Structure 1
Amino acid sequence: MSLLVFGGLAASLGAGIHYSGNPSDSGPSAVLALFETSQGSTAELKSRLKGETPQALGARVVLAEDDTPSEQPSLGVEYAESAAPSPAPTGQGDEDSPTGGIRINGKLVRPGESYGEVTRVTSLDTAPVAGLTERVNGLSLPRISADGQAPADVYARPFANPGNQPVVALVIGGLGINSTHTKAAIEELPPEVTLSFAPDAGNLQYWVNKAREQGHEVLIEVPMESFEYGRMKMHPQTLLAGDTGDRNLPRLERLLSRASGYFGIINYQGAKFAEDPGAVGPVLQTLRDRGIALVEDGSFKNGAFDRAAMRTQVKFTRAAATIDAKLTADDIRTELLGLETLAKENGASMGAGYAFPLTIEIAKDWTQDMQKRGVVLAPVSALVSVGPAEKSQPKRVQTGSLSQAPVNPEG
């Protein structure tokens, strides 16, 4: 009986607390907000979040009973003051806006934007794009579409430089052979870095699509005869000096058919081939007819590519330097600084390197604060030009090529 009596008393006491108590008195609580709240209301806060759930931004929002956010503890984010003027955007992001905003993990989120929108990488279209391929002798080859669109344009990464700042382009090659290095280059380097793939890479189309998903434009490497050819095992599809096209053009077609989604080719070796205008001409004419650009990696000084590019009107540019010819951290940093200097002097420059872990790591660090040094990172396609220098540009832009790049430092 005593147990029943005490049980009844406990149940009555609990019911009384439940119906008459104040839950807010049960313990301390904290009120958090993602934006400044001097005049804010619940409706305003929700509208500024633009439909994003607080969990999507990595925070929990609790509103007071009067629906007005009260005094807030710091979230560890920086608020951009609306009164501060903002420089013109340059495509690199991270400049404060006149309309204000906050920084989350170092990224500026303006009113009306979500963190996901700010950090999203703009993917390029999955290849192939309709109308840009054709079947020839059982091979799928790039072509200019019926409405005149060339792969060199469609598969290039879009680029804008409204601030007309000096630009530096960088291509990292040798990808697709080592999956670890390839994955690091695709995921860790900024999307403005152009990536080039070896033609014998396993799952080449998969890697090309993964690179484009992360925003990288792509080149395919074409092996060309060097002066050491014959003393070392070379690729069976190597383009040879002394050939007028009988052997080289079928080899080139096999290489071009390995994948789709690239805007151009880049040489692998080729010093001897490049010095033979008779061998270079038919190859560049084929590239021109198929709407493919040619990029020279800067590994040799004397070549026929410039003159043949002007003659055939193929889109062409040349790297000013190979950044990791000497594979030490100091030498790579020196080469990258040299590219910045050249860009500031002439408007644009381009470098080429390989997917060594050291090269990827240094290039990643180098690109993080380029804007503070007064230069903009550009995809290689932004520097290609067609034929002879355009007379309309007031200042010559050196990219290591005799042709003028379509970047106007004067605006």
Structure 2
Amino acid sequence: MSLLVFGGVGASLGAAIHYSGNPADSGPSEVLALFETSQGSTAALKSRLKAETPQDLGARVVLAKDDAVSDQPSLGVEYAEASAPRPSEVPTGQGDEESSGEGIRINGKLVRPGESYGEVTRVASLDTAPVPGLTERINGLSLPRISADGQAPSDVYARPFANPGNQPIVAVVIGGLGINATHTKAAIEELPPEVTLSFAPDAGNLQYWVNKAREKGHEVLIEVPMESFEYGRMKMHPQTLLAGDTGERNLPRLEKLLSRASGYFGIINYQGAKFAEDPGAVGPVLQALHDRGIALVEDGSFQTGAFDRAAGRTQMKFARAAATIDAKLTADDIRTELLGLETLAKENGASMGTGYAFPLTIEIAKDWTKDMQKRGVVLAPASALISVSAKTSQPKRVQTGSLSQAPVNPEG
């Protein structure tokens, strides 16, 4: 009897489903969902074709404030919602900590007042060299030149730099690169991109190393050997620029050195105390550099300001370092020299030091660059100190040099 009753109930339920087409009409039910559901929501789809792109789309700009930081990384994706995750860190170089105030974030990059989006985005990697129009072939050599529209290598190949807070700046040049591959790689990869790197002219695969440095954001100098007072008592480079020469020998030598690579914004002396004291020898060399749009950096090892005077006469871009930071190769001495650069920058507005790619120098310099803004100074590329020609800026130019510098370490 019970079988007949339950059979009749089942048949009636089946008939209800068959005629109504809705299982819910047959009785109570429970819905299990694997994902949360919301009534009336529609997924926002990204358009792929130009014809589907709304006309008001552009670069997403989000106001950036210190108290709105998310742990989620920015993948460069535009979101349909009004709010989108923002990165907790934006690796745009020294002086880009979000604690300094408000700004705007454009495509994941924090841009503060006084900065341009182009300046912020270019710091990660510099343009591949050579840039069209900045080289010429002379006597089989590829040499830097000022382009037809007036662009100079000293400007194009320099690292962009912005200091909207007008804080004291410190520049550091690490040299002797390209000789030891391990040390060269460490300097390129471990030091902040604001550190300027200088390469020996006879380095193997020099253009490769220059390209790698620029890929990491470092601007580059080429080291030019110049006659020292020890010349003749030690083995010197065959293209050393000599005192007592008016250009007949030095200018062809300079051209050979400049042709070794492209992508450098200037040169830096290697030794050269005797050469620097001969105005007749210095003048033609600096004039040739000026005519090609190349800047000059003095490493701070000279006892006099001979290059200052010659640079002023030729109106070339020039800066002088205040000290060699690793003339005494101990951790304490290097830290003391770096602290001295900070003090000098706070007094004069800017300072610059040079060093060599010793493992200890690289390690100490890397640690020193951390938290610089908390100490009231900003790390800057060397080119930031030579943005105006020496003659024009002489009355106002910050003097970063000292007349009693330690000698350059000859083993560097």
With structure 1 as the length reference, what TM-score do the two structures score? Answer: 0.72
Match 1:247 to one of 221, 246, 249: 249
Q: State the AA in 2 paired with 1:398.
A: Q
Whether contact under 8 Å (2:93, 2:194) holds in the other structure is no
Match 2:98 to one of 71, 95, 99: 95
Structure 1 residues 332 and 42: CA distance shift in structure 2, 3 A: farther
**Amino-acid identity (%):** 81
User: What CA distance in whole angstroms lies between the structure 2 residues aligned with 1:315 and 1:58?
Assistant: 40
Structure 1 residues 274 and 367: CA distance shift in structure 2, 3 A: same
Structure 1 residues 233 and 163: CA distance shift in structure 2, 3 A: same
Q: How does 1:394-405 map to 2 (within 5 A)?
A: 397-400=398-401
Paired residue for 2:19?
none
Whether contact under 8 Å (1:240, 1:273) holds in the other structure is yes
Paired residue for 1:388?
391
Paired residue for 2:84?
none
Paired residue for 2:365?
363
Whether contact under 8 Å (1:174, 1:196) holds in the other structure is yes
Q: Which runs of 5+ in 1 are unaligned?
A: 1-19, 25-40, 44-49, 60-76, 80-88, 101-108, 403-411
Paired residue for 1:322?
324
Whether contact under 8 Å (1:347, 1:398) holds in the other structure is no
User: What CA distance in whole angstroms lies between the structure 2 residues aligned with 1:114 and 1:90?
Assistant: 11
Query: SS in structure 1 opposite 2:393?
Result: coil
User: Matched residue pairs, number?
Assistant: 330
Whether contact under 8 Å (2:154, 2:266) holds in the other structure is yes
Paired residue for 1:145?
147
Paired residue for 2:282?
280
User: What CA distance in whole angstroms lies between the structure 2 residues aligned with 1:90 and 1:124?
Assistant: 13
2:223 matches 1:209? no
Q: State the AA in 2 paired with 1:169.
A: A
Structure 1 residues 98 and 218: CA distance shift in structure 2, 3 A: closer
Q: State the AA in 1 paired with 2:239.
A: Q
Q: State the AA in 1 paired with 2:385.
A: L
Q: State the AA in 1 paired with 2:321.
A: A
Query: SS in structure 2 opposite 1:388?
Result: helix
Match 1:113 to one of 108, 112, 115: 108
With structure 2 as the length reference, what TM-score do the two structures score? Answer: 0.72
User: What CA distance in whole angstroms lies between the structure 2 residues aligned with 1:382 and 1:157?
Assistant: 8
Structure 1 residues 253 and 119: CA distance shift in structure 2, 3 A: closer
Match 1:290 to one of 288, 292, 306: 292
Whether contact under 8 Å (1:174, 1:355) holds in the other structure is yes
Query: SS in structure 1 opposite 2:268?
Result: strand
**TM superposition shift of 1:112:** 6.5
User: What CA distance in whole angstroms lies between the structure 1 residues aligned with 2:193 and 2:93?
Assistant: 15
Whether contact under 8 Å (2:241, 2:250) holds in the other structure is yes
Whether contact under 8 Å (2:128, 2:211) holds in the other structure is yes
User: What CA distance in whole angstroms lies between the structure 2 residues aligned with 1:153 and 1:301?
Assistant: 29
Deviations 1:87-133 (A, max 9, x none): xx996112248779xxxxxxxx9796389x99995211100001110
130-139 vs 118-127, greater mean Cα deviation: 118-127
Structure 1 residues 139 and 365: CA distance shift in structure 2, 3 A: same
Q: State the AA in 2 paired with 1:334.
A: T
Whether contact under 8 Å (1:321, 1:352) holds in the other structure is yes
Deviations 1:320-368 (A, max 9, x none): 0000000000000000000000000000000000000000000000001
Whether contact under 8 Å (1:329, 1:362) holds in the other structure is yes
Q: State the AA in 1 paired with 2:108.
A: E
Match 1:195 to one of 194, 197, 201: 197
Structure 1 residues 353 and 314: CA distance shift in structure 2, 3 A: same
**TM superposition shift of 1:316:** 0.7
2:373 matches 1:378? no
Whether contact under 8 Å (1:223, 1:238) holds in the other structure is yes
User: What CA distance in whole angstroms lies between the structure 1 residues aligned with 2:321 and 2:123?
Assistant: 26
Query: SS in structure 2 opposite 1:171?
Result: strand
Structure 1 residues 258 and 373: CA distance shift in structure 2, 3 A: same
User: What CA distance in whole angstroms lies between the structure 2 residues aligned with 1:114 and 1:325?
Assistant: 39
User: What CA distance in whole angstroms lies between the structure 1 residues aligned with 2:234 and 2:130?
Assistant: 35
**TM superposition shift of 1:390:** 3.2
Structure 1 residues 252 and 375: CA distance shift in structure 2, 3 A: same
User: What CA distance in whole angstroms lies between the structure 2 residues aligned with 1:391 and 1:305?
Assistant: 13
User: What CA distance in whole angstroms lies between the structure 1 residues aligned with 2:146 and 2:121?
Assistant: 34
Deviations 1:292-327 (A, max 9, x none): 011000112125211111111111111000000000
Whether contact under 8 Å (2:123, 2:159) holds in the other structure is no
User: What CA distance in whole angstroms lies between the structure 2 residues aligned with 1:376 and 1:284?
Assistant: 30
Whether contact under 8 Å (1:91, 1:161) holds in the other structure is no
**TM superposition shift of 1:229:** 0.8
Paired residue for 2:265?
263
Which stretches of structure 1, 4 residues or more, deviate above 4 A after TM superposition?
20-24, 97-100, 109-112, 117-121
User: What CA distance in whole angstroms lies between the structure 1 residues aligned with 2:332 and 2:395?
Assistant: 40
Whether contact under 8 Å (2:268, 2:299) holds in the other structure is yes
Which is greater in Rg?
Answer: 2
Give the CA RMSD over aligned residues.
3.7
Whether contact under 8 Å (2:322, 2:352) holds in the other structure is yes
User: What CA distance in whole angstroms lies between the structure 1 residues aligned with 2:276 and 2:394?
Assistant: 27
Deviations 1:17-66 (A, max 9, x none): xxx99587xxxxxxxxxxxxxxxx997xxxxxx8xxx9x9499xxxxxxx
